[in-house]
Structure 1
Amino acid sequence: MSITKELTIDEQLEIFKNGSKPVKIVAPCLLGDGITKLSEFKKDEYFEEFKNLLSEQTCIKFVPASGAATRMFSDLIALKNEFKFPTIDAIEASNLENKKELIHFFKNLNLIPFYKKLKKSLNEKFSSTFLDSTTDLSEIINAILNDDKLGLVSKPKALIPFHNYFGMLRTPIYEHIQEAKEYILTNGVISIHFTVSEEHQKQIQKRINRIARFEVFQINSSLSHQSAKTNTIAVDLENNIIEDENGNYITRPGGHGSLIFNLNNLEADVVFIKNIDNVITLPNNRESNKFKQMLAGYFYSIQKQLFDFARRYEANPEDKSLKREVVKFYKDVFYIKVDRENIFELINRPLRVCAMVKNEGQPGGGPYFVESKGEITTQILEASQIDKSNPENIAKLKKSTHFNPVDMICGISDYKGKKFNLLDFVDENTYFVSEKTYNGKPIKALELPGLWNGAMSDWNTVFVEMPSEYFNPVKTVFDLLDKRRIIK
């Protein structure tokens, strides 16, 4: 499959039925063997390099934000479909796996960020303090979901109120802008790019403009959306094509892999990538921002060394001592063995430094050593890319200790300041099938080589351990009740 080639319906169905070509895993990346832990003894050095990065390179924050909030509210949608008159008693007596979370949610409605709006939409009819175990919850659920009330399920995740503090509702857009100020503010300006769905582009731009009116720094924002040419069909769990009420095929964006085009169009040297839903309140984000500055400094120290190697190679391609230095550098920093004649092709490619978090049950792909084209490289793999019918792969999966939180720093210009063509570094055979939801029911979707998976397959890749407390995604509506999100 090519990331630029449109597949026929039959070709897509064939992939759903047979799956994608599994990758050859050598081993999971572990701390000290594929994953680096930043040294506290070098933090001053990293902070200094971070300052150098800001003064010498143009930086931008890139936030994939095209996701709808449907999945976030899927538990409420499923509850609505399960019961005609849902009550706390009915939930308690049910076999629902998430009944504990559902009961906690309804008993603590007053703590969700949009509680006041919810009450207003119901004409002050409900209050969490007056809910009893027999109260019909339908009206509350409908008010949250339906367009004639709050209509949150049809909004982009970027515009859902995640927090409510200091007298103001805070969306992920607001939090990302405030976060960007802490590590890419240069001469009073931040540059930030959101990838959004075309239908929500005007709403999101309007929200950014409103935020900008009240800030003392300048926000250089830009928006883009995924090309409809990369859309794919969706199927149910039996591989039957899903149709809408008019009999038309349901199509979905081809996953974050198509965003490699958006990334390729950015006018910047260094890109900070982070998902839209991974934000926390400002008062709880200070240490995380310091870590990001250290990570950026570490990134720049590696990039400068690669640039130095490239310049020396250009000056003297026959320098044997240079090759020895490159081999040692890749072993020490990238944890891989270099066994090739053309070292320039290796060092002159995009660089990414990716944070990795200890796996404590959170979803997400993981870091692995992978064999491809006769070489062993480090890659971020999704579970769906791994052949689980192979017992050896299962054993390697069980040894995996970290997952990908999608928090990375990417260098997309070469040692001469010229932009790489990122499409030259894509492995086009790494599409995968993922599970999504449609109307609260599970479906399967076909995704292009993932942005941080196959789309960056041929990048120079470094993994760095990040403390788990710096990973704060909102995946479900229940996550809004995390104590770190509530400031009274």
Structure 2
Amino acid sequence: MFTPEDLDLFAEKGIDVHTVEEQLASFKSGFPFLRILSSASVGNGILSLDEQQTQYYLDLWEGYLKDNHKVVKFVPASGAASRMFKDLFAFLSADYSEPQTDFEKKFFNSIEHFAFYSDLDEACLKNEGKSITDLIESGNYKAVVSNLLEAKGLNYGSLPKGLLKFHRYATNNRTAMEEHLTEGALYAASSDGEVNIHFTVSHEHLADFKALVAKKKADYERRYGVRYHISFSEQKPSTDTIAVDANNEPFRENGRPLFRPGGHGALIENLNDIDAEIIFVKNIDNVVPDRLKEPTVRFKKIIGGVLVSLQTEINRYITMLKSGKYTIDDLREMIQFLHKKLFVRNEETKHLEDAELALYLLRKLNRPIRVCGMVRNSGEPGGGPFIAYN
């Protein structure tokens, strides 16, 4: 099935031929559904906090930051913006020249409210000799869209979301990447003002991200009184997935098998390369303007406090297990901790001997903790702050 040239391509990417064969087999046989045991609820994967507990975790997080532990904000930022503009691409290629769909009409009626409006206006003046207003008044709507999406203008149709202007402010407009710089300063800065942020980006846009950081970093450091340590990595080619045709056979482009980047799960390897005690993970486009940041910052801190609390208990149990100084009651307490705090259950533990149970607990407790947060409006029935574990 594969030629020597194909095998050379696999080796170049760091992908074993057996991995490619397994991917093809999975496409042909299908992927099994995940077996769901039960729905998440309070006490079963979800922790509901009252105000006193909330303040406890907030204080715990602030105390943790004062001890200058290494915290990293990890941002997957390689996502392209092309899907954001699919309706505008459709308009460009349509056989009509004026807005017809509800989306198209709303876009042009609201265009001055977009954060990129001023930049787009400059591009239109440069390339068309007319402002956005003049182009619209003359019915040349497609020129506006062309300057937004194509390389002659802002090139937003080919850029990653992290480099797009997302939000408008009184004095400046921010890209999604800049919003993450702001967030990092608000909930992940150590007591001496150190903020660590890591972006995963595509190779072709690495230079653009670095250029934007070089341009903006000092401004945000002055604004928030912090020092940023910003690093980048690229999604590894070894995590790519082979593309297939309608018959689930390798799709070829110019005679070579075509590979597509893996999803966010492929970034686990990048995540594993990060040396930090706590890592906050958040997608590049999951940002809000400053007027809406308070709940985000508050609950990120609460999540951090929950993590610190859990890690403290885990460290105590691991020390106990490694020393061998524990009782059967201690082991039972640890099992309850797994069940009620980490929501890890294994019915087979009841059949294990004490020594086997201790080894099992040590393996489970030595794994990274993952916590995700959900904010629920406290005005809703049963509402209040929620933290969800997975």
Q: What's the TM-score once normalised by structure 1's chain length?
A: 0.65
Match of 2:301 among 279, 290, 293: 293
> Contact 2:320 / 2:326 at 8 angstroms: preserved in 1?
no
- Secondary structure at the aligned position of 1:219 is classed as strand
Corresponding residue for 1:53? 64
Match of 1:261 among 266, 269, 272: 269
Corresponding residue for 2:107? 105
Partners in 2 of 1:5 and 1:20 — Cα distance? 21
Offset of residue 213 of structure 1: 2.0
Corresponding residue for 2:369? 351
Corresponding residue for 2:74? 62
Q: 1:120 to 1:233 in 2, by over 3 A?
A: same
* Percent of pairs with identical residues: 31
Q: 1:102 to 1:238 in 2, by over 3 A?
A: farther
Is 1:462 the counterpart of 2:389? The answer is yes
Corresponding residue for 2:189? 185
Is 1:122 the counterpart of 2:124? The answer is yes
Q: 1:241-252 maps to which residues of 2 (within 5 A)?
A: 246=254, 248-252=256-260
Corresponding residue for 2:384? none
> Contact 1:107 / 1:128 at 8 angstroms: preserved in 2?
no
> Contact 2:197 / 2:230 at 8 angstroms: preserved in 1?
yes
The CA RMSD measured in Å over matched residues stands at 2.7
Corresponding residue for 2:24? 13
Offset of residue 5 of structure 1: 4.8
Q: Deviations over 1:416-472 (max 9, x none)?
A: xxxxxxxxxxxxxxxxxxxxxxxxxxxxxxxxxxxxxxxxxxxxx925xxxxxxxxx
> Contact 2:132 / 2:144 at 8 angstroms: preserved in 1?
no
Corresponding residue for 2:232? 223
AA at the equivalent of 1:40:
E
Offset of residue 225 of structure 1: 0.4
AA at the equivalent of 1:220:
H
* Structure possessing the higher relative contact order (Cα contacts under 8 Å, 6 or more residues apart): 1
Corresponding residue for 1:471? none
Q: Unaligned regions of 5+ residues in structure 1, if any?
A: 92-99, 359-407, 409-460, 464-488
Match of 1:76 among 77, 88, 92: 88
Offset of residue 316 of structure 1: 2.4
Using the TM superposition, name which of 71-80 and 332-341 deviates more.
Answer: 332-341
Q: 1:61 to 1:140 in 2, by over 3 A?
A: same
- Secondary structure at the aligned position of 1:152 is classed as coil
AA at the equivalent of 1:145:
L
Is 1:282 the counterpart of 2:274? The answer is no
Corresponding residue for 2:216? 211
Q: Deviations over 1:330-389 (max 9, x none)?
A: 23223343442221111121111112467xxxxxxxxxxxxxxxxxxxxxxxxxxxxxxx
Partners in 2 of 1:304 and 1:210 — Cα distance? 40
Using the TM superposition, name which of 18-27 and 320-329 deviates more.
Answer: 18-27
Q: 1:383-398 maps to which residues of 2 (within 5 A)?
A: none
AA at the equivalent of 2:201:
V
Offset of residue 15 of structure 1: 2.1
> Contact 1:6 / 1:230 at 8 angstroms: preserved in 2?
no
Match of 1:27 among 13, 24, 38: 38
Partners in 2 of 1:236 and 1:101 — Cα distance? 32
- Secondary structure at the aligned position of 1:334 is classed as coil
AA at the equivalent of 1:125:
K
When you count helix as a share of all residues, which structure comes out higher? 2
Number of equivalences: 348
Partners in 2 of 1:8 and 1:23 — Cα distance? 21
> Contact 1:108 / 1:128 at 8 angstroms: preserved in 2?
no
Q: Deviations over 1:115-141 (max 9, x none)?
A: 122222222635469847x93532222
Corresponding residue for 1:437? none
Partners in 2 of 1:138 and 1:192 — Cα distance? 39
> Contact 1:330 / 1:338 at 8 angstroms: preserved in 2?
no
> Contact 2:58 / 2:302 at 8 angstroms: preserved in 1?
yes
When you count strand as a share of all residues, which structure comes out higher? 1
Corresponding residue for 1:161? 165
- Secondary structure at the aligned position of 1:27 is classed as coil
Partners in 2 of 1:8 and 1:312 — Cα distance? 41
Partners in 2 of 1:158 and 1:50 — Cα distance? 28
Q: Deviations over 1:65-124 (max 9, x none)?
A: 11121122222223333x123422x33xxxxxxxx3332112111111111222222226
Partners in 2 of 1:177 and 1:276 — Cα distance? 11
- Secondary structure at the aligned position of 2:78 is classed as coil
- Secondary structure at the aligned position of 1:351 is classed as coil
> Contact 2:65 / 2:188 at 8 angstroms: preserved in 1?
yes
> Contact 1:234 / 1:250 at 8 angstroms: preserved in 2?
yes
- Secondary structure at the aligned position of 1:195 is classed as strand
AA at the equivalent of 2:130:
K
Offset of residue 190 of structure 1: 0.5
Q: 1:6 to 1:179 in 2, by over 3 A?
A: farther
Partners in 2 of 1:462 and 1:317 — Cα distance? 30
> Contact 1:196 / 1:225 at 8 angstroms: preserved in 2?
yes
Is 1:173 the counterpart of 2:177? The answer is yes
Q: Deviations over 1:309-340 (max 9, x none)?
A: 11111222652111111122223223343442
> Contact 1:46 / 1:298 at 8 angstroms: preserved in 2?
yes
Partners in 2 of 1:163 and 1:287 — Cα distance? 18
Corresponding residue for 2:340? 332
- Secondary structure at the aligned position of 2:301 is classed as helix
Match of 2:148 among 137, 144, 151: 144
Partners in 2 of 1:71 and 1:276 — Cα distance? 15
Partners in 2 of 1:235 and 1:107 — Cα distance? 41
> Contact 2:97 / 2:142 at 8 angstroms: preserved in 1?
yes
Offset of residue 281 of structure 1: 1.1
Partners in 1 of 2:251 and 2:334 — Cα distance? 51
Q: 1:146 to 1:282 in 2, by over 3 A?
A: same
